[in-house]
Amino acid sequence: MHRLDAYAHAGRLRHVHPLSKLAFALAIILLCLILDRPQVSAAALLWMAGLSILWGGATPGFVLRLLTAEGLFLTLSVVAVAVQIGPIGQEGGWSTTITIASPAQAGALLLRSFACAAAMNFLALTTPILELVAAVQRLGAPTALVDATLVMYRYIFLLLETLMRMQRAQESRNGYAGLTATLRSAASLGGQLFALSWRSGRRMEMALQARGYEGGALSMLTPTYTAPWSWPVIASLVFATLLGLARL
């Protein structure tokens, strides 16, 4: 999570307007869903992964690990498309059926899901969440939704920081030396994490109140955005590639 946020602040598209990148990612997702062609999904996946590395500044290994983690959930979700399990008439029992077309359908669905996930990864690796939320807020998004998003985003980092501090403290006391100690430390970590993170969240709330926050929109500075000439060129090339492959 920290590396994802670091890439978003240090990428080459950092100063491109977040709504422009949001529209680009959503357009890629819509093209994959509407055109519904495996070659289009494969091209979108390669484009988005490549742009995340070249423009997002992420390392190939990090992008690959990110897609792998997402792929585990996506693969499990398409198993039901490839394998059909149902009762056998009135005799009872269950049967497992795999048709000739079901593996191809599952593969196309998995590839399309990978392409959509890669488009969202591109947005996350090139756009800081705070700027994206601020841009959406200026479009008229509900204030309560914007505030909840910002607070939860900060709370995620508080939770991760608390978890890492507790884990380092346990490791310094040989808390993971052996299976028994590992299980005991994991149970203790889970039990104390909620209480400590709750106190951290409470301190964050008190800090907001100490600065005069009484609800409503959180004020944020508006950065200056500049779009390089290569941004519309590459975006147009991506769209042209996907539309061209759809005709094959």
Taking only the tens place, the pLDDT of each residue in 196-225 is 777 777 787 787 778 776 665 556 666 777
Same domain? 69 vs 7? yes
Q: Is residue 218 a part of any domain in this protein?
A: no
Tell me if residue 74 falls in helix, strand or coil: helix
Residue 88 lies in a domain: no
Question: What does the pLDDT look like over 77-114, one tens digit per residue?
Answer: 888 777 777 666 666 667 777 777 788 888 899 999 99
User: Is residue 117 assigned to a domain?
Assistant: yes
| pLDDT value at 175 more than 80 | no
Same domain, 234 and 122: yes
Same domain (yes/no): 13, 71: yes
| Each residue's pLDDT tens digit, 233-246 | 999 999 999 999 98
Domain membership flag for residue 49? yes
Better-scored residue on pLDDT, 45 or 153: 45
The type of residue at 108 is: A
pLDDT at 219: 61
Beta bridge partners of 96: 85
90 domain-assigned: no
Q: Are residues 60 and 148 in the same domain?
A: no
- Residue carrying structure tokens 């690796």: 125
Q: How many domains does the chain have?
A: 2
- 133 part of a folded domain: no
Q: Are residues 40 and 154 in the same domain?
A: no
Tell me which of 155 and 75 has the higher pLDDT: 75
Q: Residues 6, 123: one domain?
A: yes
The residue range of the domain holding 159 is 141-210
- Give the confidence band of 130 by pLDDT, cuts at 50, 70, 90: confident
Per the domain annotation, does 122 fall within a domain? Answer: yes
Average of per-residue pLDDT across 137-157? 76
- The pLDDT score that the predictor gives to residue 36 is 87
User: Does 139 have pLDDT greater than 80?
Assistant: no
Entry pTM = 0.75
pLDDT score recorded for residue 180: 81
- The Cα–Cα gap between 41 and 217 comes to 39
**102, 184: one domain:** no
Q: Is 162 exposed, middle or buried (0-12, 13-18, 19+ CB in 10 A)?
A: buried
In a domain, 16, yes or no: yes
Q: Determine contact, residues 234/12, Cβ cutoff 8 Å.
A: no
User: Residue 235: exposed, middle, or buried by beta-carbon count in 10 A (0-12, 13-18, 19+)?
Assistant: middle
